[in-house]
Amino acid sequence: MTDLPSRLRLMTDTSPAAWLEAEMGDFDADVRALLPGRFDAYARILHPADSPQGEPVPWREVARWTGRSMHPGVQFKALARPARGAGDGPPPWDEPPERGELPQPMLSALCAVLARHTGTADRCRFCLWDGWSWIADAASSMVLLEALPDAPGPGRNEAAAMVPAFDELPRVRLPWRDYVMFEGPLGAAMELGQRTAGSFFPQSPNLFWPADRSWCVATDVDFDSTYAGGPAGLIDDLLGDPALEAVGVKPTDPIDEDSDQINR
């Protein structure tokens, strides 16, 4: 097994997520189903499609080929259908955007912006959905292993044996999902994922926020967009970042893939 990142700590005390459990509910599948409604502004980061060559394809490029419209409520299902008279030649993509996974370069760019809008970038909480197929397998994932302390202590095998069984771990329980939670600096968002001997398969956090709760980010397993809520300055920075294809949204905007009324 490859070495595990020492900056992440599996949390058995989920009380830092109590504010989410108290504020989030089933709001008929709008943005508030993914994030609390307390923030000043919100943005939606669109996960890219994949080209036949394995390159990311922005939604705006898909829209140019299909003759459809880019707008805050755009959904890939509707965007990808060529309008009458459009769609000449081969499409620029062959795989739709990944659901539940923000590509690592975009996650890194996102975290660089987020860091400028919190006073506690050194203390963040990261939630992973407990339903990932690999997450409970101690032989291939990091979930059942705690980061070792800096001071001398038990070896990694002994430390692993001290961690509760996966089924016994406390959960962050929200209306739509249950999660296991980690703590670490903001940059550790890129260190979550499946680990096998000599390999690492990253998984972007499904939900994360800093200790000061200045913002919150959600990448739900069912959606091909990442949603962020926070101060207006943060959202302006996200919308203006060339590494991120982002649109502004409201907390009451629908998130269902059939909700795109403009491109229907």
Measured from the Cβ of residue 244, the count of other Cβ atoms closer than 10 Å reads 22
Measured from the Cβ of residue 97, the count of other Cβ atoms closer than 10 Å reads 23
The reply to whether the predicted model has a pTM over 0.85 is yes
Return the residue matching tokens 């302006």.
Answer: 236
The contacts of residue 93 (CB under 8 Å, 6+ apart) are 49, 50, 51, 57, 61, 62, 80
Q: 116 φ, ψ to 5°? A: -80, -5
Q: How far is it, in rounded angstroms, from Cα 163 to Cα 143?
A: 10
Count how many residues are written for the chain: 264
Residue type for position 209 = W
E strands, 59-210, are 124-129, 172-173, 178-184, 193-196, 199-202, 207-210
| Per-residue pLDDT tens listing for the chain (264 residues) | 234 445 888 888 999 999 998 888 766 689 999 999 999 999 999 999 999 999 999 999 999 999 999 999 999 999 999 999 898 889 999 999 999 999 999 999 999 999 999 999 999 999 999 998 888 765 555 554 444 344 344 445 555 555 567 787 889 999 889 999 999 999 999 988 887 777 888 899 999 999 999 999 999 999 999 999 999 999 999 999 999 999 999 999 999 999 999 998
